Amino acid sequence: EARKARIQQSMEREKREREERTRELAAERLQREKQRSAILAMDRLVSERKKHEADSLSETVLSEQRRLKAEVERLQDIQSERVPSKNTSSSNVAMAKTVDDGEDNKQEA
């Protein structure tokens, strides 16, 4: 009888230990799942933030490109107004040369 009681107690103790270990393992698994879920959520937030920053940067770059293109066109317009066309430029050079030759002739005389 005493032996049966000891065996029974031993079996009950082992059963309690198994149940406790099962609860501990379940708690550890739950903790790992919570951590994994938190990490995934953080990854999503970081990805969304990076995408938003990249989109914002793209918009900034495109805006700057448009601004610079407009500035280049404006400067080209100004330059084309100040610099005469090639035909006008040639006649001005020829006229200037004639004037210079005339001055040279005056100086020689």
pLDDT digits (tens, 9 = 90+) for 11-59: 999 999 999 999 999 999 999 999 999 999 999 999 999 999 999 999 9
- Over residues 46-72, the pLDDT tens digits come to 999 999 999 999 999 999 999 999 999
Give the residue carrying structure tokens 């970081």: 46
Total residue count of the chain as it appears in this document:
109
Task: Please give the structure tokens belonging to residue 21.
Answer: 């270990």
pTM of the model: 0.48
Q: 109 in helix, strand or coil? A: coil
Domain count, the chain: 1
| Enclosing domain of residue 94 | 2-99
The verdict on residue 13 lying in a domain is yes
Mean pLDDT of the chain: 86
**Element holding 105 (H helix, E strand):** helix 86-108
- In a domain? residue 108: no
